[in-house]
Structure 1
């Protein structure tokens, strides 16, 4: 369900639906049922910067579409809360959790509660007229808050994924005396690939937040240059890395290419080393997904960000991270101990 929430959130951003609901209630509310209720919702939307500067000619049918997209995303998140908190509370009360699992459940529960608040905090940035006073400002949510919202969701998903693996299919055990430095180095390579996959995913949030996929729709060059002229056009220089669409796209390309190289190296090393079949399968799946993900990214760019392809690319980022976590979990005990057990 967390995976689905991330996917739905990506589609909501791609269809520019996130600012259609201008209020937030903790437990939600039913959708409008009559034409008069829909007019009330539309009147609220008319007070927003997005309507004033961009969607001033929106029809009721168009408004209903973006409203239902955002409503579906929010209600899906609330449903996750119910599916998590109710069973967790019952199982906790019955003493079904070990101390270690209690810590994980508490961490996930707090993060899940904060996720809804963080989502509304993000939306509010796109509803404040003071954020769009410049002549070229485009009404949209803050890319910083979008990245924080996505990162928080991915951390929550990762925590649940890792815990599920621990419980349903524990990591392989290895004889410490048979772990060679090459095998231990492979584990470090796997951990690095997991970290880089996460960083690349977060950089994609800045691409989405700034609509950076709509600049320089060519590959591998930026128009006819390897390094675009306006890559450091803003001052101070550091702002370019999070506020200049060209720089953000450039960084995402570099990160994506570097991640692909690392994932390919993991797959090649897995084929060369005497590893269990479970680890080799996970490594090959990760390397294959790396190439698919880059292909989806290039297609998204060259086709000017069509929603289906872009949504597949965003979902592919989480699939790639999932495979990296799967592999890292399988190789969790593949390390050289400082002191061998007696």
Structure 2
């Protein structure tokens, strides 16, 4: 998981460090690692306690290790529902890691999730001020705001990113991607094609999306197959390949792509892959396997009412 998910008052721990165990002690590192294990396992309260114990082992000087532990602690606080505590942790991180955009971005995301969009935008503005040419940051801010219903506010960040003076190939790729997000297809296609020509691997994925939207599945598939062979392949690309194969009636190939996506260590679109897998299995007439896969999906996403109805259907086959 990303440590950049959320953190707290380092100052709280500094007061306790005078009687603690010393610098980068192995105990501090071990407690940090145990806390991360608990966090990954979903035991957030235990994780917070372990991170507190780890921080009590510092000697008063805030180092990269203490900052790292606090990022993890904030993530555990956020996931446990302690939004106020997580925001306070990020506030402290701003003091000690203020040259980094992350504490501003993460605290802003907490404010946005709590409906305090004014405070969120103040933090988001500070984040992009710290890292002006971080195009992915502008995209993530937009996606956060859009998912919470603040689409117009989010589009401001996308449009601001397009105004950045930057002639690099990478900038062209990101600006093409942003144009695509804004529905400006012709500009997106032109910029993404230039990025592909300059061998920006990920540009193939977004140019393929444009071709797919246009119904040109052959061009989309060619680009995605090239992308799938790269070391940078993502679960999103494999899901898109699966979708194209489904549209073309190649259900076995589609299933292979979905399952390849599910086998990756880093998966950003688990629901899409699982639902794609279920659909491919259904089309192949493998209803028992589809039922098992959909049951697995609902264990992770129990609020999907459409999937619940589909499971009832599959159970009658």
Scaled to the shorter chain, the TM-score interval is under 0.3
**RCO comparison, higher one (Cα < 8 Å, 6+):** 1
Q: Which TM-score applies when normalising by structure 1?
A: 0.24
Q: Which TM-score applies when normalising by structure 2?
A: 0.25
